[in-house]
């Protein structure tokens, strides 16, 4: 009854009124300690010594801690190659070296400059190009290959392009910085409250760091003030800092970074440079594609291998590549370890092919949409470079419908005319698509568990490993549960995520939070529902509860026809009914459980990364967009005039929340390709470490006209309630802002018409490119 409805996000009221509690809103415990972090002031070197003596003279400074204070100082999601605190090797600017436990932040601010740090500086690798040249790799993936040798085909082809493409990094810019509070427990254990997408990993890292068994470390996540992937792995280190000090001092300890410190110390989206060769026929149909991808992993492995693979998985975009070879390596540089960010490498892959398609169109002098149409995955051309078949493909339908709904062809003509007649302002139009693979590509992460408890007043509390970061996963799961019991969703409350209730969970990531955890909650609810049908059936038909004997298999079978509607349990065949509340009370008195737990795993996945082949994804979330931009030829100022989005999200659990996700993701993608520009000093220090220097899109920047629509699709039977994941896919539609800029500039390009431009297309870059084209 309530799944499929636009009910409000469960935190909507408290977010808007400012009452929602985040980590730093937790009331201070008596004696709580403020934890400050001392960081390195060079990008590479050998740490020779740390001297706390002067800092300890400052009133309110309690103690200083170093790497050697941890039982184990190394951590990392895939490889334990990252120190919690530098023990010897400094690997990036602003890397955590030491901790100061203080009575308050004021003491820390007075003392931090007094910690004596000696580092013998070494030459740092601060350029991706240098890392590529020196082959300094953290990871090299097994290539994806299909069809004939592409380089042979490209060599013989009449039409081909060759080049490189770079897309820049991106700061997560969540509103709540990395934060954690640790409470020491009387049994020597620790309770951690963390702003983390991954309660289990935070628990594991803290336990490992302190040498505690896992059952003595609990990690609780009530909610995050945004995560966007930046809290998939990296919160664990900050949790370990607070836990160390809570353990050492037996006082609760709080780590809350300032915005600037958060931006300086934590990893970002991976910048990616790709060298490619591509051949095509006179209609723009791609015949062969070859790519060498290099991502900037930063100083440590973190989740770079999985992100790199997702770049490989998404370099095909929505397009069939008949003969293809994709190679990829993640480079090691002296920047903070780059990490998960909405799309998880997927955007970096898709922007390459979408950008190349603009060039193919320019080369042939045809409209880029035509090139996209001839290459789009269709039933006869439906095999990906990693040999997964694209099934249930809604891309052709999306293309046809949006082309019509957006009046693409008419607007193209208008823009052709506009650009011919006007000087000073150029317009550009671009149609791009997303085909985003849903599943963790690390197969073991595609599992989840859920606990559902019904209380005797008919309200329900449930918990899963999913963490709420604003995306509405709690609201969606509550809707799934309430639908099973025919109750209003307000009857269901999601508990804070806790390793004490749900163990061995996966990060809430890969857009699959509601898929996996919703499915587990659905399963647990169905177990309880079955028992309640049985109870209601007995009550309706006067079967005694004392024994099972009078109750035949046939009756059990019949009981499954009882429906749960609006708080009642109804037998439509015999026209009998009983209330949900009465039924649960009868169940309780007859010692029948009103609680259950279920585990869920996604079936059918089988990608083998050692050979680069197999079914990596459960299904794909698809969408298309048409974006129109204007570029001021004198200033480079770009405006997004209009974006029309059409997506397939299956049967949505909450259309309002999904629309919000599409809108937010698109704008975040738009920021990545057109505004957000990370700048570093020659020493590797982040210069753009606050909103004054790092510009994310605001309400002024979003498309002036902006529509979001969905197609109907009831065929997604491989996912809970036939819904599709939404969190990341629409981020990739933001790429249309970049390709629309390229399209606008192509009107000023003379001979080949190719506008080779890297991302982001900032106003400054657009202006410089225009100058170049004039020359
Ligand atoms: N939406 C909000 N408001 N805040 C966030 O931090 N993170 C995104 C997306 N939407 C995010 C968000 C990312 S990176 C992912 S993977 C998904 O939400 C995770 O949640 P889901 O799997 O429940 O969709
Ligand atoms: N997506 C997001 N996060 C992940 C993934 C993935 O595919 N694999 C591991 N962490
Ligand atoms: Mo999202 S980048 O998978 O946390």
Q: What is the pLDDT of residues 425-466, one digit of tens each?
A: 999 999 999 999 999 999 999 999 999 999 999 999 999 999
Q: Are 533 and 562 contacting, i.e. CB atoms less than 8 angstroms apart?
A: yes
Residue 746 near residue 768, CB atoms below 8 Å: no
Extract long-range pairs of 545-548: CB within 8 Å, 24+ residues apart. Answer: 545/586, 545/590
- Best residue among 173, 224, 344 to mutate for probing ligand 3, ranked by most atoms within 8 Å of CB: 344
649 C-beta closer than 6 A to ligand 1: no
Q: Residue 549 above 60 pLDDT? A: no
pLDDT at 551 over 80: no
Q: Give the number of the ligand closest to the Cα of residue 518.
A: 1
What mean pLDDT comes out for the span 511-520?
Answer: 98
Q: How many CB atoms lie within 10 A of CB 27?
A: 6
Helices and strands (DSSP H and E) totals, the chain: 20, 30
Between CA 335 and CA 127 the distance in angstroms is 9
Residue 767 near residue 466, CB atoms below 8 Å: no
Mean pLDDT, range 280-294, rounded to an integer: 98
- What's the pLDDT at 553? 74
Residue range 53-99, pLDDT digits in tens: 999 999 999 999 999 999 999 999 999 999 999 999 999 999 999 99
Q: Residue 266 and residue 302: Cα distance in Å, rounded?
A: 11
Taking a C-beta distance cutoff of 8 angstroms, is the pair 377, 435 a contact?
A: yes
Q: Please state, in angstroms and as integers, the Cα–Cα distance from residue 30 to each residue in 252, 289, 529, following that order.
A: 8, 63, 45
Separation of alpha carbons 464 and 598, rounded Å: 10
Q: What is the pLDDT of residues 182-212, one digit of tens each?
A: 999 999 999 999 999 999 999 999 999 999 9
Distance CA 22, CA 41 (A): 30
Catalytic residues: 728
Question: Measured from the CA of 470, which atom of ligand 1 is nearest?
Answer: 3
661 Ramachandran zone, left/alpha/beta (phi>0; psi -120 to 50):
alpha
| 197 in contact with ligand 3, CB cutoff 6 A | yes
DSSP 686: B
Which of the listed residues 16, 174, 228 should we mutate to test ligand 1's pocket, taking the one with most ligand atoms within 8 A of CB?
228
> Which residues fall within 8 angstroms of residue 308, CB to CB, at 6 or more apart?
139, 141, 270, 293, 295, 297, 328, 329, 330, 345
Could you report the per-residue pLDDT of 231-260, keeping only the tens digit for each?
999 999 999 999 999 999 999 999 999 999
Would you call 634 exposed, middle or buried from its count of C-beta atoms within 10 A (0-12, 13-18, 19+)? exposed
Q: At what angle do helices 513-540 and 473-485 cross, to 10 degrees?
A: 20
CB of 369 within 6 A of ligand 2: the answer is: no
The finding on whether 509 has its CB within 6 A of some atom of ligand 3 is yes
- Find out whether the beta carbon of 446 lies less than 6 Å from any atom of ligand 2: no
Q: What is the pLDDT of residue 556?
A: 79
Distance CA 592, CA 582 (A): 13
Q: What tens digit of pLDDT does each residue of 729-755 get?
A: 999 999 999 999 999 999 998 776 789
Q: With contact defined as beta carbons under 8 Å apart, do 76 and 301 qualify?
A: yes
Assess whether pLDDT exceeds 70 at residue 547.
no
CB-based contact 638:702 (threshold 8 Å): no
pLDDT at 718: 93
Predicted local distance difference test score (pLDDT) of residue 550:
58
Residue 442 CB less than 6 A away from ligand 2:
yes
Tell me whether strands 116-121 and 45-51 are parallel, antiparallel or unpaired.
Answer: antiparallel
What residue's CA is closest to ligand 2, atom 5?
440
Helix (H) or strand (E) holding 540: helix 513-540
Q: Are 202 and 194 in contact (CB under 8 A)?
A: yes
Residue count of the chain: 775
How would you label 401-420 residue by residue, b for 16+ Cβ within 10 Å and e otherwise?
ebbeebebeebbeebeeebe
All residues at 6 or more sequence positions from 506 whose CB lies less than 8 Å from its CB, including other chains:
198, 200, 440, 445, 446, 447, 448, 465, 516
Residue 77 in contact with residue 302, Cβ under 8 Å?
yes
Alpha-carbon gap, residue 292 to 330, rounded angstroms? 11
Compute the Cα dihedral for 88, 89, 90, 91 and give only its sign: negative
Q: Kindly state if the Cβ of 341 falls inside 6 Å of ligand 3.
A: yes
Report cis status (omega within 30 of 0) of the bond before 271.
no
Here the tokens at position 32 are 């709580």
Ligand nearest to the CA of 609: 2
For the chain, the average pLDDT equals: 97
DSSP state of 694: S
Strand 568-571 with 563-565, pairing: antiparallel
- Closest among 99, 139, 466, 469 to 304, alpha carbons compared: 139
Name every residue whose Cβ is closer than 8 Å to that of residue 345 and which is 6 or more positions away in sequence: 270, 272, 295, 306, 307, 308, 309, 310, 311, 314
Q: What angle do CA 743, 746, 752 make, to 5 degrees?
A: 130
- Atom from ligand 1 closest to the CA of residue 725: 24
Quick one: pLDDT band at residue 609, thresholds 50, 70, 90? very high
Work out whether the CA dihedral 666, 668, 671, 677 comes out positive or negative: negative
What is the pLDDT at residue 1? 45
DSSP 551: -
pLDDT above 70 (res 548): no
Measuring from atom 8 of ligand 1, which residue has the nearest CA? 228
Q: Is 454 helix (H, G, I), strand (E, B) or coil?
A: strand
* Closest of 196, 440, 187 to residue 309, by C-alpha: 440
Closest ligand by atom to 308 CA = 2
Q: What is the pLDDT of residues 637-665, one digit of tens each?
A: 999 999 999 999 999 999 999 999 999 99
Q: How far is the CA of 607 from the centre of ligand 1 (A)?
A: 24
Q: How confident is the model at residue 3 (pLDDT cuts 50, 70, 90)?
A: confident
For 483, phi then psi, to 5°, come to -65, -40
Q: Which two tokens stand for residue 360?
A: 């193919």
pLDDT tens digits along 138-167: 999 999 999 999 999 999 999 999 999 999
103, pLDDT greater than 90 = yes
**Least confidently predicted of 86-90, 222-226, 537-541, 546-550:** 546-550
Tell me, rounded to whole angstroms, the distance of Cα 62 from its chain centroid. 38
**What is the secondary structure of 729-751 as a DSSP string?**
GGGGGGHHHHHHHHHHHHTT--S
């990893």: which residue's tokens?
267
Contacts of 570 by beta carbon, 8 Å cutoff, 6+ apart: 562, 563, 564, 576, 577
Q: What is the mean pLDDT of residues 124-137?
A: 98
């Amino acid at each position: 009854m309530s799944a499929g409805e636009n009910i409000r996000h469960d935190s909507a009221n408290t977010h808007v009124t400012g009452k929602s509690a985040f980590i730093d809103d937790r009331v201070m415990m008596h004696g709580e300690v403020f934890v400050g972090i001392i960081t390195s002031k060079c990008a590479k070197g050998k740490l020779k010594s740390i001297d706390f003596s002067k800092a300890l003279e400052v009133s309110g400074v309690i103690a200083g801690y170093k790497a050697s204070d941890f039982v184990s100082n190394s951590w990392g999601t895939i490889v334990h190659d990252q120190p919690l605190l530098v023990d010897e090797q400094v690997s990036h600017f602003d890397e955590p070296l030491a901790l100061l436990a203080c009575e308050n932040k004021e003491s820390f601010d007075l003392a931090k400059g007094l910690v004596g740090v000696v580092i013998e500086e070494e030459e740092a690798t601060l350029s991706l190009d240098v890392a590529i040249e020196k082959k300094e790799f953290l990871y090299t993936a097994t290539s994806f290959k299909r069809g004939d040798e592409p380089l042979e085909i490209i060599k013989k082809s009449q039409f081909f392009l060759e080049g490189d493409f770079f897309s820049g990094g991106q700061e997560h810019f969540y509103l709540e910085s990395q934060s954690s509070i640790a409470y020491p427990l009387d049994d020597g254990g620790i309770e951690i409250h963390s702003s983390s997408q991954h309660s289990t990993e935070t628990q594991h890292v803290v336990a490992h760091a302190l040498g505690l068994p896992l059952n003595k470390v609990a990690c609780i996540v009530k909610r995050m003030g945004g995560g966007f992937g930046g809290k998939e792995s990296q919160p664990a280190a900050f949790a370990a800092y607070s836990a160390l000090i809570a353990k050492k001092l037996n006082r609760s300890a709080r780590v809350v970074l300032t915005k600037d410190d958060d931006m300086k110390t934590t990893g970002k989206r991976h910048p990616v440079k790709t060298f490619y060769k591509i051949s095509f026929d006179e209609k723009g149909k791609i015949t062969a594609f070859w790519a060498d991808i290099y991502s900037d992993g930063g100083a440590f492995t973190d989740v770079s291998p999985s992100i790199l693979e997702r770049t490989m998985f998404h370099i095909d975009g929505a397009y069939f590549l008949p003969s293809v070879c994709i190679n990829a390596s993640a480079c090691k540089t002296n920047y903070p370890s780059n990490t998960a960010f909405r799309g998880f490498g997927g955007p970096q892959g898709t922007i390459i092919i979408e950008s190349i398609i603009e060039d193919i169109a320019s080369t042939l002098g045809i409209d880029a949409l035509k090139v996209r149409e001839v290459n789009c995955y269709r039933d006869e051309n439906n095999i990906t470079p990693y040999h997964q078949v694209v099934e249930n493909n809604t891309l052709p339908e999306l293309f046809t419908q949006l082309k019509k709904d957006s009046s693409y062809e008419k607007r193209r003509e208008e823009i052709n005319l506009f650009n011919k007649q006007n000087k000073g302002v150029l317009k550009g139009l671009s149609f791009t698509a997303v085909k985003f693979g849903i599943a963790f590509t690390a197969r073991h992460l595609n599992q989840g568990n859920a606990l559902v408890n019904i209380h005797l007043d008919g309200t329900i509390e449930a918990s899963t490993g999913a963490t709420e970061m604003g995306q509405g996963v709690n609201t969606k799961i509550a809707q799934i549960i309430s639908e099973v019991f025919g109750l209003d969703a307000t009857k269901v409350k999601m508990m804070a995520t806790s390793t004490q209730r749900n163990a061995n969970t996966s990060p809430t990531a890969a857009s699959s939070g509601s898929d996996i955890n919703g499915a587990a909650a659905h399963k647990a609810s169905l177990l309880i529902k079955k028992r309640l049908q049985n109870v209601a059936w007995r009550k309706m038909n006067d079967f005694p509860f004392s024994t099972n004997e009078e109750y035949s298999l046939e009756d059990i079978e019949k009981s499954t026809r009882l429906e749960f509607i609006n708080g009642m349990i109804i037998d439509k065949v015999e026209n009998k009914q009983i209330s949900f509340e009465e039924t649960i009370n009868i169940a309780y008195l007859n010692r029948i459980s009103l609680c259950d737990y279920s585990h869920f795993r996604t079936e059918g996945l089988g990608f083998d990364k050692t050979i680069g082949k197999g079914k990596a994804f459960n299904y794909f979330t698809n969408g298309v967009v048409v974006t129109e931009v204007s570029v001021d030829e004198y200033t480079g100022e770009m405006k997004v005039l209009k974006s029309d989005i059409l997506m397939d999200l299956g049967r949505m659990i909450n259309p309002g929340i999904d629309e919000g996700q599409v809108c937010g993701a698109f704008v975040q993608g738009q920021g990545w390709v057109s505004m957000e520009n990370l700048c570093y000093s020659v020493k590797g220090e982040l210069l753009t470490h606050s909103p004054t220097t790092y510009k994310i899109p605001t309400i002024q920047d979003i498309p002036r006209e902006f529509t979001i629509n969905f197609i109907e699709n009831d065929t997604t039977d491989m996912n809970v309630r036939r819904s599709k994941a939404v969190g990341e896919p629409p981020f990739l539609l933001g790429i249309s802002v970049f390709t629309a800029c390229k399209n606008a500039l192509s009107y000023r390009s003379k001979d080949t018409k190719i506008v080779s431009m890297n991302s982001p297309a900032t106003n400054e870059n657009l202006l410089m490119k225009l100058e170049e084209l004039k020359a």
